Structure 1
Amino acid sequence: MIPKQVNRLYDGLTPREQANMVFAAGARRDNAEADVILSRVERVACKVPHLDYIQRILASQALMFAYGIEYWRVRALMFSVSKETDAEAKNAAKRLFQQVKALESALTDVCERFNVDITAIKTMAQCPDNEPLSTAEADADLVSQYTEFLTVSAFGVQ
């Protein structure tokens, strides 16, 4: 087909169909086709919330997801080793408990640094906040690793 006919075909697609085609072109690494389709997508003017607001909402969601996934991952591992009675399992449980304390300490640090409500993060991640943990003896290396993980996951900085 000649380019004008192709453009008319792209114009007849719905925005969802255009998005699907751009995604497929990207997967094929066909930048030329993706650019042509993108040029045919209808442009609209709209009012959106302030960029800072959007960035903070997305960062809070990312922090909640990163914390929640790691919290429940470690808790699931703790549950699985709690059924065992041998010394190796008990050592694994102690290491996992150290991870929980380090994760809690890191979340506290990140929330304080970026002025985020820690209770809201835990509530949205469906992580109970009724277990007071002494994070004073949390492993400093683990805390540092978790702090970096949560900070980069949510805010893209270290």
Structure 2
Amino acid sequence: MSAPIPIVPPFTLETARLKVRAAENAWNTRDPDRVALAYTEDTVWRNRSEFPKGRDEVRAFLRRKWSRELDYRLVKELWSFTADRIAVRFQYEWHDDSGQWFRSYGNELWEFDAAGLMRRREASINDRPIKPEERKFHWPAPGPRPDDHPGLSGVE
């Protein structure tokens, strides 16, 4: 079996959607080493109040994130794209070590190099406490969102 063909700029509607779903699937593994491979060695991020630079800092950031955000499940949706940039909106659900569930809402701006690696990621995120019965994302975690699970369109 051969390796999958990388999704590289310039993006089309189809390849932008594929890139977003590939990112969602990778993040839903909660594997910092795997996720970090989608970024350039010198990637620059803004995530809330943190500003990781480079793959090593991204890996450390993701390890901290997923040690606090338990049973994490993420859905991303393409918002807009250009030749080498993609904007997404997302929601994810998680709970803390006390069992309090949250839904986090956000937007990301991505910029890619010619090889399809993300060189810049800017994320704005807000959290809202939710009751367990308000959860929308119930697939087995870690793992990808099933193909028949709804996306975010029409969901608030």
Larger C-alpha radius of gyration, 1 or 2? Answer: 1
TM superposition score normalised by structure 1: 0.24
Please state which structure has a larger fraction of its residues in helix.
Answer: 1
The structure richer in strand per residue is 2
TM-score (norm 2): 0.24
